[in-house]
A and B are shown apart, each in its own frame.
Chain A
């Protein structure tokens, strides 16, 4: 066995072990912590598959933001208040049956993947031919914003719809108020120190990721997540307060990306069709869309993690 393959085998075993432990852990807090570790292992697996864009997204969103979201929820719900979804069907037989069916499904998927031929060419060559015309050197960005622009447009709409869903769970008394509770951090504590130290670095990484996204791994989603993390860190460290969701500037930030995207899509009708971006200016236009999207994604992701308003503005 070669050294890289040995690494893959070890990583695969860790991935399955930590994933299983996260699902089976008795303690809710332990389960979520294991899930965050699991997300980081998944990100490393994506690097091993040569999919650095996906690795960045997985580390930032899958492990980071999902982890914060679940930890905040666990803190709010508390251990004793776990919502029991299945009080009566805890019998051993039922759990064994469920486990057997899940294992059977996994086995079928495994057999299916082994039976596929190794030489799947995919769409790599078609994308390369298209990217050469557009001047984007990162093929993933070309697919996300040019060839399959519909996906990305609808994805921002999904994020927006989820935010509306979360906000609409607000009780009437606090509608338009601020999400979460006022955070307090000891001024000389670790959280406050990191809250002062990390945001400038995070801002720089976020801006770099969106700027480099056209040519190298990176882009609006990865950059937006980093910026969302910077904002939440500042709030958690008590340096800034969560904004009231009725604030107009905040709502503008949430919609500016999708609106810019729709505007470009509509203008495209003049040059050829809905969402058609003129080849000569692809890179400029895509950078503009990405910049708007980054702002919207950062605001929307942070607001999704902060949850519905809980106190008056």
Chain B
């Protein structure tokens, strides 16, 4: 077995692992983490196809598309995290006294 084929199998397995985290994660952050594992698995799977040819160098077109994908995945992650934090701020129960001067002390809300 060649190295690209090996990483292609890794990518396939990572898609499965990440998808489980995305579906069964216990909290919003854990699901976002799973989403990122799915993404890197897909990239690895795709990128391994670009490196399969034994004599030619690695195909640059998939590489460029994967770099684009990595940046777009970060944009999605940041938006998802921001929504999770806002949701938490809206719905979190009031904190017990003694915990009040917490990280959010200067938050006007």
Binding site for B on A (CB under 8 A): 4-5, 8-9, 12, 15-16, 19-20, 22-24, 28, 31-32, 35, 38-39, 42, 45-46, 48-51, 53-54, 57-58, 61-62, 65-66, 69-70, 73-77, 81-86, 95, 98-99, 102-103, 105-107, 109-110, 112-114, 116, 118-125, 127, 139-140, 142-144, 147-148, 151-152, 155, 158-159, 161-162, 165-166, 169, 171, 173-174, 181-182, 221, 297, 301, 304-305, 307-308, 310-312
Contacts and interface: CB of A to CB of B under 8 A. Distances in A.
Contact of A32 (B4, B8, B33): B33
Interface of A (DSSP majority class) = helix
Contacts of A31: 30, 33
Contact of B74 (A24, A28, A304): A304
A227 B101 CA distance: 33
Interface residues of B, number: 86
Nearest to B8: A113
Interface of B: 1-21, 23-34, 36-37, 40-41, 43-45, 47-54, 56-68, 70-79, 81-88, 91-92, 103, 106-109
B5 to A, nearest CB: 7
Given A54-B67, A155-B71, A305-B78, A9 B6 contact: yes
Contact of B20 (A84, A99, A127, A166): A99
